[in-house]
Structure 1
Amino acid sequence: MSIFFRKLAKSAPLAFTNTFKSSNNYTSYGSKASYGAFAALSGGISLYYFNSSSNLAYLDSSDENAAEKMALSPDKWLEFKLHETANVSHNTKLYRFTFDPDVKLGLDIASCILTRAPTGQNDEGKTKYVIRPYTPISDPDSKGYFDLMIKIYPEGKMSQHFAKLRPGDVLEVKGPIEKLRYTPNMKKHIGMIAGGSGVTPMLQVAEAILKNPDDKTQVSLIYANVSPDDILLKQKLDILATSHPNFKVFYTVDNPSENWKGGVGYVSNDMVSKGLPVPSNDTLVLVCGPPGMMEHISGNKAKDYSQGELSGVLKELGYTEEMVYKF
């Protein structure tokens, strides 16, 4: 397991340091103000909780899974032991957490987990927590472990908690939280637009499709980053693309290297028209990225975290709200 784990880390060469630096006047790849919203690889929202109660709605287990024991609990925080870590870059690590080797974690496609860490006490003397959502990069069908890829931010409350974890320490986890309920062949063609760490939920959906021989869904991914070195899990994505004819990936970067052969610049109308499925009832486009990018491509979610109004590039090209899902 250790050898595979370290190979996985080497297959994810990214330099997050530059990922959230400002680029011209377009904030999709992040000013300093946006880093907190994307500290979680899931692309989810950072939340603070002051006790163990939660007002989030969780995914109900299906009848099929009800009889199968799962490691996660949607109702209570459980401790998972850190088994090992592996360096991805100078400030990014893979963390493998383990549990009963005969049990699956309990994630559906697409869903994420919540993690929490104590940050002191409130005025009433109750423990105060910081909570962050993360999408594991390990196969949801894996038994006995799950992997998280974490970038350590100097001022990130949750990532600093991860930085202090050592093998044998435990992490409190709760979930799963449903993002998009995917079912095989629900659409003929799924398009994906991801920026930076927003590729994580896309990978979860894509891998679920590609490992299922009965799922004939076509998948097309446009993946945007600041530079080639910022591309997350590029080697893994390239292998998926070369080994599965129904998966295509197109990379675009703001600052190309001398030998760069992909796209250059922000995701444009032309890139979407050429790289993603045309608007139709058999099309679904998934979007996940920093707030500026989301605003440019599809519009951000509403303040209540619902999908919100569709705008930006996708609306201009004729997609409707029913054809787009924002992570």
Structure 2
Amino acid sequence: MVLFFKRLARAAPIAFTRTFHGQSKSAATSTFGIPFGAIAAISAGASFFYYNSSQNLVHLDQINEETGVRTALNPDKWVEFKLQERAKVSHNTHLFRFSFDPSAKLGLDIASCLLTRAPVGQDAEGKTKYAVRPYTPISDPELNGYFDLLIKVYPEGKMSQHFNSLKLGDTVEVKGPIEKLRYSPNMKKHIGMIAGGSGITPMLQIAEAILKNPDDNTQVSLIYCNVSPDDILLKNKLDVLAAKHPNFKVYYTVDNPSKDWSGGKGFVSKEMVLKGLPGPSEDTLILVCGPPGMMNHISGNKAKDYSQGEVSGVLKELGYGEQMVYKF
């Protein structure tokens, strides 16, 4: 297992690799990775709520029928995972590592997300009310014993505030995986990505799956937009991936650039897409994930029934059809 400090050093700005949950650097390195279309991606929309007080938690009782491998995740039951470590990545974003039996596989496919839930009181009938939120792990699904979630903490976010309150050893309830885009190696010659904020997580999941596979020749181009340079999540990690892999390119743009900023400025424009992403083609797929405003500008949001809906915005104006765009 790769040590947490080494992984975070690639993932977060250097300023945030020095301490972990109040520990010293040496202490931190001693421990340490239906289709459900109605669930939005990590960066979209508000928390989801539903009521359930009768389901029991289970632990590692899911068996993959195809492989016979025991998996930590269960798509039908809520499972408790223990918080093993946490680290600050930016002023409002944290990395959370949850552990499970290392003899089991996580059971996550590319590209899939997890559902998390936390109790938020009771309804009028006295039943427990839960906040439910999807998150996409950024750790390699093939790693045993842990998975990592990158979570932006919002002032009014019930689920993200719950995560922020967790202490080492606390547990969180998880269900999944929830399949989003079923990726297969070389399914397209070129994949373009447009991500905003924490919408980087499904992009990173797919990009790393491509880059670690020597038989996958897919070209990957990412445009990553944020409010300011300080809000760019996992920049060091993305830069290392781009430096090591000639088939991965990343371009950053921010709304509020600093004086020494040399990247893009402002919203993703037609010019940025034309210059940085593959053009419309049967061999092209453009992935989009970000807050509703960004989605509306780039591709249009999903339909009311949470299906993909029509393509609009910048991508439609540039000639991309519905089969060339996937909205997380």
TM-score band w.r.t. shorter chain: 0.7 to 0.9
Deviation at 1:5, TM superposition (A): 5.3
Aligned equivalents of 1:157 and 1:240: distance in 2?
Answer: 33
Deviations along 1:206-226, whole A, 9 cap, x unmatched? 000000000000000011111
Superposed displacement of residue 157, structure 1: 1.0
Distance 1:154 1:45, change over 3 A: closer
* TM-superposed deviation, 1:8: 5.2
Tell me: higher relative CO, structure 1 or 2? Use CA pairs within 8 A at least 6 residues apart: 1
Following TM superposition, by how much is the alpha carbon of 1:174 offset from its aligned partner in structure 2, in angstroms? 0.2
Segments of structure 1 that go 5 or more residues without pairing to the other structure are 15-36, 55-60
**Distance in 1 between the 2:142 and 2:104 partners?**
9
- Residue of structure 1 in register with 2:291 after alignment: 290
Would the aligned equivalents of 2:45 and 2:291 in 1 still touch at CA under 8 Å? no
Corresponding residue for residue 190 of structure 1: 191
Match of 1:222 in 2: 223
Mapped to 1, the partners of 2:43 and 2:51 lie a distance apart of 22
SS in 2 for 1:284: strand
Matched, 1:85 2:82: no
1:164 is matched with 165
In structure 2, what is the Cα distance between the partners aligned to 1:187 and 1:293?
25
Alpha-carbon deviations, 1:291-327, whole Å to 9, x = none? 1111111100011110011111111111100000000
> 2: distance between equivalents of 1:161 and 1:201?
22
Partner of residue 135, structure 2: 134
> Contact 1:197/1:289 (CA < 8 Å) preserved in 2?
yes
Opposite residue 195 of structure 2, the aligned amino acid is A
Decide whether the 8 Å contact of 1:43 with 1:197 is kept in 2: no
Shift of 1:94: 1.4
Are 2:106 and 2:141, in contact at CA under 8 Å, matched by a contact in 1? yes
Q: How many residues align?
A: 298
Distance 1:53 1:205, change over 3 A: farther
Q: State how far apart, in whole Å, the 1-side matches of 2:8 and 2:232 are.
A: 18
Offset at residue 73 of structure 1 (A) = 0.1
Alignment correspondent of 2:268: 267
* Change in 2 beyond 3 A, CA 1:43/1:136: farther
1:12/1:153 CA distance change after superposition, 3 Å: farther
The residue number in structure 1 matching 2:321 is 320
Q: Pick closer, same or farther for the CA change 1:153–1:214 going to 2, 3 Å.
A: same
Is 1:311 aligned to 2:291, yes or no? no
Percent of aligned pairs with the same amino acid? 72
Residue by residue, what CA displacement relative to the aligned partner does 1:3-50 show, whole Å, maximum 9, x if unpaired? 335535644879xxxxxxxxxxxxxxxxxxxxxx99x74547631111
Structure 2: give runs of 5+ residues left out of the alignment: 17-38, 56-62
Q: Which residue of 2 aligns with 1:3?
A: 5
TM-score by length of 2: 0.85
Q: How far does residue 276 in structure 1 lie from its aligned partner after superposition? A: 0.7
Instruction: Give the distance between the partners of 1:12 and 1:79, measured in 2 at CA.
Output: 32
Distance in 2 between residues matched to 1:53 and 1:298, nearest whole Å: 40
TM-superposition CA deviations, 1:247-291 (whole Å, max 9, x none): 001111112111211111111111111111111111000001111
SS of 1:303's partner is coil
Aligned to 2:208: 207
User: Who is 1:23 aligned against?
Assistant: none
Q: Quote the offset at 1:52 in angstroms.
A: 6.2
Q: Which amino acid is the alignment partner of residue 292 of structure 1?
A: G
The aligned counterpart of 1:177 is: 178
* More deviation, 149-158/164-173: 149-158
- Alpha-carbon distance between aligned partners in 1 of 2:313 and 2:102, rounded to the nearest angstrom: 46
What secondary structure does 1:221 align onto? strand
Compared CA separation, residues 273 and 200, structure 1 to 2 (3 A): same
